[in-house]
Structure 1
Amino acid sequence: MARALFSLLSFLLAVLPLCYAATKTFTLNLAYSTVAPDGFSGRMMLANGQIDYPISVNKGDDVEITVVNNLDVATTIHWHGIFQKGTPFMDGAGGVTQCPIQPGATFVYKFNVGDQTGTYWWHAHYKSQYVDGLRGPFIINDPSDPYKSQYDTDLTVTLSDFHHKPSQELLNYYFTPNEGAFEPVPDSGLIGGAGRFNCSFAPAGSTCKDSNPLTVYNVVPGKRYRLRLINTSAMAKFNFTIDGHNMTIIEADGVYTNPTVVNILPIHTGQRYSVIVTANAPTAIGNFWMRADINNLWDPAPWLAGGLNPQVRAIWRYQNAPVVDPTTQIATDLGFDVYSLGELNGIAVGNNPSWNSSIYLDFFIGPLGDQNITTATTTLSGPPDWTSVQYLMPSVPSLYTAQQNQALPNSSAPIPVDDGSWVYIEIHNDDAMEHVFHLHGHTFYVVSHGRLLHAPTATATLARRDSIQVPSCVGGHGGTGEQGCLKGFLGILVNFNNPGTWLMHCHMEWHMAAGLVVTFVNNAGLSSVDFPSGFYDQCNAPTKKTKTKKTKATKKHRSAAVAA
């Protein structure tokens, strides 16, 4: 009897928080603001006048977020990494799950975060607008965090490349005929919303301040800090480190991981990690560089010609330390294999679920056609099978088309999947750089990786992610890759148990804009989804004529200092 009562009590404690979920409400007022996060003054699209406006909720919460579009362009907001179980129409991918929010209009996103916990982010998912500043952290706190006893303070650290020109101008450049497929190079990098630009490269007549204040993270000796790292870049991959300190990884993309000690952590755009750092430097009072060094992904383009300093910095400052820049040095890399970062208490290697079907995906990025315009295409061996399909945003949302049991156009690169099925997806990369792929609405297990014909590395448990890089191609003519090189590959296993239309795309924004996208269509279970009445009426709503609203950035436009 006692055992039965204990089991009942345990069950009630588990389900009651979900039955009585709190409703958290937020408002994102989108408007233009003039800011200078790296010292160069320019216009950004911001929410509530703040760079990296944060949203924080708890496990099981209902969330209502009102988006007020005071911009002069349409937009949508995506909740990166959130499954949207039962609410696929709230995923926020423009042209996929909803029509854009027109200028002057308001839209309310309503969803439940379910059992998800960890580190996520929100960002515009329409015409590369998150590059202009429409982005911020989305944190789901876990009352049952298995690592809670191992840290004292929880901090969020955003990492981003930063462009002075608006995204539309950058896209126009990228798609210029005969341009050569060189991706736009950022002007600087930001940690916690702040960085430094070399003002000697600023155009004549612009406003720029050298030695811009960096973000400072104030710490107390002996305290343990959970840092939630989020790469919100258009393209940059960072190597993150804090001089003189090791880091223990405990989470990746909202999934608890086996504790893994590193001192330099590579992080691609769209990815998130939580690390625990103890303020235990031998010098109890001092300043240490926090580094996010940008990898060169633009070769052979002259990526430093415009003034970019790839050595992005913030300051890790101990209590009572002098207010000066650090002079510390970076340590020798301990090494880190992203594919071996297994899930805590996850699926053991060798116990992989059996899959129902296999898909093999190749892609191309480069100039095509008579005008040599940059284009990205995918080639699929499935079924379905196709060759050189460029994704184009549909005029009618894909989810609406699927709900009507109609076929998506070929330009949506549709891949039908059975509800509940397991699918093995192998992505091949013949490019000389890594490409990071993100899947909406799901996580996936990493089951193989490497270069074709090479064996994968074994780990204790499988890694589970929603954003992961495909290894680059190596070898070939002159060792430059791309011509006769050994292709990189990534094998992932997905359980498509979430009805909806879900994008999988390269999260290097320029590549997505060029068409490196596919759409997984799980419409067999859409009959169980409760669509709001008249949800797609907004697609026929006329554009409101409204004056562009411009706001001053608030004092919170960046974190000048973060208290211990």
Structure 2
Amino acid sequence: MASSRHHRLPLLLSAALVLALSVLPAAQADVQRYQFDIVMSNVSRLCHAKSMATVNGSYPGPTIYAREGDRVVVAVTNRVAHNVTIHWHGLKQRRNGWADGPAYVTQCPIQPGGTYAYDFNVTGQRGTLWWHAHIAWLRATVHGAIVVLPARGVPYPFPKPDAEVEIILGEWWHADVEAVEKQGRALGMAPNTSDAHTINGKPGPLFPCSDKHTYALQVQWGKTYLLRIINAAVNDELFFTIAGHTMTVVEIDATYTKPLSASTIQLSPGQTTNVLVRADQRPGRYFMAAKPFNDAAVPADNKTATAILQYAGVPASVLPAPPRLMPETNGTGFVAAFHDRLRSLNSARYPSAVPLAVDRRLLYAIGLNIDPCASCPKGSRLAASLNNITFVMPRVALLQAHYGGLKGVFAADFPDRPPARFNYTGAPLTAGLGTSLGTRLSRVAYNASVELVLQDTNLLSVESHPFHLHGYNFFVVGRGVGNFDPAKDPAKYNLVDPPERNTVGVPAGGWTAIRFRADNPGVWFLHCHLEVHTSWGLKMAFLVEDGDGPDESVLPPPKDLPKC
């Protein structure tokens, strides 16, 4: 629909680019201003047209461009019947949770007809991130890329590409995704899977009626391209590959990595990966492809989206080279090996500041469970929990409640470890362990170093889970299969150059250990980025206390902050 947007070179914010992205006139050079209108648009894919929520009528939505150190102001006006918020995924929002965006966590939603200006600084970050709606399943259609360029005069720590392109991987439902989610909730079952996957909003020629719904990237022979790849899918982890070409990974989640050569990469929902691709093959047309990774003991969604990498001068009538053979849908071994090879750059300019000493050790057990449901046809419903707690969203935003002195909205007593120890990855415990409902936060002292081990369980079945922490990057210091052993596994941690991320996969029937320093005060969401699991309650939040210094407390709320 708007594939030309992804051919723009975000090396300079030209006047034409500013106009195309609806940027408002900036008061000064270091302020990037955008207007986001949430509107209903009629969009056609796969022989079907539907009316869906979009930003400025575009699917995917406009790209936000900024430089490290810039201030960004995005005025969001809600012109649809849904409540809306926007989350700037991966931006740390230092002391400024008011701009983070998750509904009922840091803000009340923008109600129909309302406007809210997200005003934030891009401090100490550069690379590829993304934005998306953060309420119910609206992010299926309301999302787009964020490109943060290095500060002026600062080069990339890898060979400068000739051009840069955003590649957004997504999902498509013929039906209204909000209705799909509500139907699943009413039945107590998992909602219907998507009807297609997309690359830059288009499913590609392997789907019917898709001739005009194929994204094509034109390249010049001999030139090098930086692909900024984003997994914006709602529920699917994805493989990505380009026929006949090798990719070099140079960045993940907006942090530089040691160069890593790969023919196929894997991204969980929420993750981003920058790769260099050299157009050095025989001029022709080559398939790019995205296919699900699913290692759960449930029927797998195996729909492959395709796009075309096309050399300049080659007519569109030339048949593309077949898609590269990708790993099996349940290719757990490939995924583990790929992520085990990722390393932070850990250079003098970009060191790995992984905490070596730990003040607070946490173990969170991930559970899928079955809860009673009197209104559901089977008398029960699928649910999810962390440490046996299914999180209940409040009616007032947690950050507003805490700094507004409202009592009774939440309890700050989330347990540091599971209340009942058991063989987490042993035989399935279909009866569950007495899951409770609650709005419970974990209180963390300012500047404490935290180690969090996320442990998958076999309460219903083992399954991989991508977890996203708002407000922070963290270091992935270890991962493994089976139950985490605190006496043996830490000896195998990488504390030198572990990958730094904001979203991490927890392997099916295994564990992942992350470390971060709690130096950003506020209320910060932690949740599975499979939207179906988040809606079932697989989430919690950290309440990071203010420090003692003048720059160690949460900023005052903006005057236009929405009210519940």
TM-score, length-scaled by structure 1: 0.80
Q: Which moved more, 1:263-272 or 1:148-157?
A: 148-157
Q: Superposition pairs for residues 68-79 of structure 1, below 5 Å?
A: 68-79=77-88
The Cα shift of 1:112 comes to 0.6
Question: For residue 477 of structure 2, what is the aligned residue in structure 1?
Answer: 447
Residue correspondences, number: 480
Correspondence for 2:232? 232
For residues 558 and 223 of structure 2, what CA distance do their matches in structure 1 show?
Answer: 51
User: Relative to 1, partners in 2 of residues 1:197 and 1:390: Cα closer, same or farther, differing over 3 Å?
Assistant: farther
Matching of residue 45 in structure 1 with residue 60 in structure 2: no
Alpha-carbon contact 2:95-2:552 (below 8 Å) kept: no
Of the candidates 531, 539, 544, which is equivalent to residue 556 of structure 2?
531
Match of 1:489 among 497, 511, 516: 511
CA distance in 1: counterparts of 2:297 and 2:384, whole angstroms: 18
Q: CA deviation at 1:329?
A: 4.7
| Offset from partner CA, 1:77-116 (integer Å, 9 cap, x none) | 1100001113111101111111110101111111111121
Q: 1:249 Cα shift?
A: 0.5
Structure 1 residue 372 corresponds to structure 2 residue 408: no
Match of 1:22 among 16, 27, 30: 30
Shift of 1:39: 3.9
Counterpart for residue 518 of structure 1 = 540
Q: Distance in 1 between matches of 2:353 and 2:70?
A: 35
User: Counterpart of 1:287 in structure 2: which amino acid?
Assistant: R
For 1:197 and 1:349, the matched residues in 2 are separated by: 43
Q: Is 1:67 paired with 2:86?
A: no
Preserved contact between residue 403 and residue 523 of structure 1 (Cα < 8 Å): no
Alpha-carbon separation, structure 1, partners of 2:143 and 2:352: 36
Following superposition of structure 1 onto structure 2, how do residues 271-310 of structure 1 map, counting pairs within 5 Å?
Answer: 271-281=271-281, 283=282, 285-296=283-294, 299-301=297-299, 303=300, 310=303
The secondary structure found in structure 2 opposite 1:49 is: coil
Does residue 185 of structure 1 match 2:193?
yes
Identical aligned residues as a percent: 26
Q: Deviations over 1:280-308 (max 9, x none)?
A: 11x1x20111011122466533x56xxxx
Counterpart of 2:102 in 1: which secondary structure? coil
Q: Aligned ranges for residues 163-182 of structure 1 at < 5 Å?
A: 163-177=173-187, 179=189, 182=190
Q: Is the 8 A contact 2:354 2:515 kept in 1?
A: no
Residue in structure 2 matched with residue 35 of structure 1 by the alignment:
43
Match of 2:260 in 1: 260
* Conservation of the 8 A alpha-carbon contact between 1:445 and 1:463: yes
Aligned AA (1:392): V
Q: 1:424 to 1:459 in 2, by over 3 A?
A: closer
Q: Alpha-carbon deviation of 1:433?
A: 2.2
Is the contact between residue 33 and residue 44 of structure 1 (CA under 8 Å) also seen in structure 2?
Answer: yes
- CA distance in 2 between counterparts of 1:198 and 1:352 reads 47
- In the TM superposition, residue 273 of structure 1 has moved relative to its aligned partner by 0.5
Amino acid at match of 1:121: W
Which residue among 355, 362, 382 is the counterpart of 1:359? 362
Which residues of 2 match residues 393-432 of structure 1 at below 5 A? 393-404=393-404, 408-410=409-411, 411-430=438-457, 431-432=461-462
Q: Distance in 2 between matches of 1:403 and 1:121?
A: 28
Give the counterpart of 1:313 among 306, 310, 330.
Answer: 306
After superposition, the C-alpha distances for 1:52-92 in whole angstroms (9 at most, x for unaligned) are 22111111111110101100121111100001113111101
Is the partner of 2:343 in helix, strand or coil? coil
Whether the aligned pair in 1 keeps the contact of 2:87 and 2:133 (CA below 8 Å) is: yes
| Bigger shift: residues 362-371 or 235-244 | 362-371
CA contact (8 A) 2:345 2:351 kept: no
CA–CA distance in structure 2, aligned partners of residues 460 and 262 of structure 1:
23
Distance 1:517 1:376 in 2: 9
When residues 459 and 88 of structure 1 are mapped into structure 2, their CA distance, relative to the original with a 3 A threshold, is closer
Shift of 1:401: 2.0
Secondary structure of the corresponding residue to residue 228 of structure 2: strand
Q: Secondary structure at the match of 1:115?
A: coil
Measure the CA separation in 1 of the matches of 2:323 and 2:102: 42
Read off the aligned partner of 1:321 and give its amino acid letter: V
Taking a change above 3 Å as real, the CA distance of residues 65 and 352 of structure 1, as seen in their structure-2 partners, is: closer
Q: CA separation of 1:149/1:351 partners in 2, compared to 1, >3 Å: closer, same or farther?
A: closer
The answer to whether 1:326 aligns with 2:335 is: no
Uncovered stretches (5+) of structure 1, i.e. residues with no partner = 1-19, 201-208, 380-387, 474-487, 541-564
| Structure 1 residues 349 and 230: alpha-carbon distance in aligned structure 2, compared to 1, 3 A threshold | closer
Question: What's the offset of the Cα at 1:532?
Answer: 3.7
Q: Tell me the distance in 2 between the aligned counterparts of 1:311 and 1:317.
A: 19
Matched, 1:157 2:167: yes
Distance of 2:159 and 2:552 partners within structure 1: 43
Alpha-carbon shift at residue 533 of structure 1 (Å): 5.5
Distance 1:198 1:372, change over 3 A: farther
Q: Distance in 1 between matches of 2:354 and 2:215?
A: 45
CA distance in 1 between counterparts of 2:495 and 2:135 reads: 38
Partner of 1:341: 342
Question: Which SS does the other structure have where 1:84 is aligned?
Answer: coil
Residue aligned with 1:337, SS: helix
Q: Distance in 2 between matches of 1:329 and 1:46?
A: 31
Q: In 1, distance between residues paired with 2:463 and 2:512? A: 14
Give the drift of 1:40: 2.1
Structure 1's 427 and 315: CA in aligned 2 closer, same or farther, altered over 3 A? same
Distance 2:456 2:46 in 1: 34
